[in-house]
Structure 1
Amino acid sequence: MTIEVFNRHECKYLIDEAVFEEIQEKLIKYMELDNYNKSHELYTISNIYYDTKDNHLIRASLSKPKYKEKLRLRAYGIPKMDEKVYLEIKKKVCGVVNKRRTKLSLEEAYNFVATGEKPEVKAHMNKQVINEIQYILSIYDLEPKLYLAYDRKAFFSKESRDLRITFDTNIRTRRYDLFLERGDYGESLLEKGKWLMEVKAEKNIPLWLSTMLSEYKIFKTSFSKYGREYEKFLIKERSLKGEFEPCLKQYTAAYSAQPQLIQQYL
């Protein structure tokens, strides 16, 4: 059964391919492959990120507030209009990540975000999450902003499903043709041979993992795929226009004006 609602801590690390090759072999002692990877060496995750016309959500996120949220549409591979995808709310409150998602057909998801009107609730949908997404759509005028895809290898702990480690590579993005069914292509976000490693745990990480990270001198970093792409986008825009963007901090004002947004989902 797919988990649709959960809370966890996420730590991110950028590593080279040589390090990835070594540590994935060691992880097998403690962890098992994700079901997707049991039949494929890597599997592809594709996303559409939604934001306001002035990019309020990502601007606020980059200013590192105590509370931030985003809405994205996620698929595995290239979906057709009648295939199931996930519409997700991802929040971070005081360092804890909360993700809430529901299955819809790709067509239902597009219509929901475009109109703000809930689809007819079906057995495969999470009614509560549908209501929460509708609320977000009512307070933000969202539109598709970014296509972002990557290839993933993932592991689950053999002892507890609370610990998951993922490795993402070949991260590619585009700010045009923002439809999942249109194909998997875009510009590279990281240099070739780099992997984004994420440790996702509800509790503290085990001693063996802490020892492994120390042995390979793998240090935690602050990294957001959407955030990194947006920073590159700003640099490109500035070079073209010869202008500087306003300070990111001004875009957090809306949060202090709407404290109920935080409490509603805690």
Structure 2
Amino acid sequence: MDADAHGGTAGYGVWSVYYDTTDLRFYWEKIEGLRFRRKLRLRHYGDRSRITDDTTVFVEIKQRVNRVTQKRRVALPYRLARELCDQRVMVEHDPGQRAFLEEVLELICGLDLRPVAMTGYHRDAFLGRDADVGLRVTVDYRIRGRDRDFHLGADTENRLIVPPKLAILEVKANERIPYWLTDLTARNNLQVVRVSKYCQSVEAYGRAPRSIFHVTDEPSLALTKAAH
């Protein structure tokens, strides 16, 4: 596979602020494994220490319908993204973005969403080539989180929410995951597990009891998550 051009061989940082209800509706929908569920987040790729009001961030709705995971998003300057999600006002946008921004506003206002947790990690990303176009593999490590100070660029202490010796390997494919990759994961005894970085952050700060899906500090544990 080839390294993702956005991160090259060094990878890149991924920082996300997750929105939820006061009773953590999105958290519990994930824990209960509902066939249709959504969550809203603000996401930044790169060095968070350089974030300004004009930095491009993404407002994303990630949803799962049965076994299919979908991610829809729009890119906005950080200032406008905060106005949309925190001040709950429509912002300047391209004509093609309006329907999605209205959906975001309806979700925020209808459920009274607010920032609940933040996650950050370093990501190495790889893309399939030739017959494997559409294949994407990511390795996330140094996975941290916090439950306050939700400005993406805030110089605030974060807590490790996955043991530092572990990484999360995600396999994503538009069609079928190629045989050579399923064979490779089998030969390395990787187990398919359910894990949510958002849920890890919520549980790490005691906002909800630890679920059976919480990642424990087991040296032999390897994580892989496949999405179609």
Note the C-alpha offset of 1:66.
0.8
Q: Structure 2 length as normaliser, TM-score?
A: 0.84
1:103-122 equivalences under 5 Å are 103-122=75-94
Aligned to 1:43: 12
**CA distances 1:195-233 after superposition (whole Å, capped 9, x unpaired):** 100001121100111111111111111111111222333
1:71 pairs, out of 40, 45, 53, with 40
Structure 1 pair 56–191 and aligned structure 2 pair: CA distance change class (3 A): same
Instruction: Judge conservation of contact 1:48–1:180 (CA < 8 Å) in 2.
Output: yes
Note the C-alpha offset of 1:46.
0.5
Aligned to 1:156: 127
Instruction: Judge conservation of contact 1:153–1:166 (CA < 8 Å) in 2.
Output: yes
Instruction: Judge conservation of contact 1:172–1:185 (CA < 8 Å) in 2.
Output: no
1:100 partner amino acid: R
Counterparts of 2:185 and 2:112, CA distance in 1:
42
Q: Percent of pairs identical after alignment?
A: 27
Q: Structure 1 length as normaliser, TM-score?
A: 0.72
1:133 pairs, out of 98, 104, 109, with 104
Counterparts of 2:53 and 2:22, CA distance in 1:
25
Note the C-alpha offset of 1:135.
2.4
Note the C-alpha offset of 1:108.
0.5
Instruction: Return 5+ residue gaps in structure 1 as ranges.
Output: 1-30, 239-243, 245-266
1:32 partner amino acid: D
Structure 1 pair 117–226 and aligned structure 2 pair: CA distance change class (3 A): same
Counterparts of 2:112 and 2:208, CA distance in 1:
23
Structure 1 pair 210–133 and aligned structure 2 pair: CA distance change class (3 A): same
More helix by share: 1
2:54 pairs, out of 56, 59, 82, with 82
The alignment of Structure 1 onto Structure 2 pairs a total of residues equal to: 206
**CA distances 1:42-66 after superposition (whole Å, capped 9, x unpaired):** 2101110011122111122211111
Counterparts of 1:144 and 1:152, CA distance in 2:
23
Counterparts of 2:176 and 2:129, CA distance in 1:
16
Structure with larger Rg: 1
1:3-82 equivalences under 5 Å are 31-38=1-8, 41-76=10-45, 77-78=47-48, 79-82=51-54
Note the C-alpha offset of 1:237.
6.9
Instruction: Return 5+ residue gaps in structure 2 as ranges.
Output: 211-228
Counterparts of 2:208 and 2:77, CA distance in 1:
35
Instruction: Judge conservation of contact 2:38–2:64 (CA < 8 Å) in 1.
Output: yes
Give the root-mean-square deviation of aligned CA atoms: 2.0
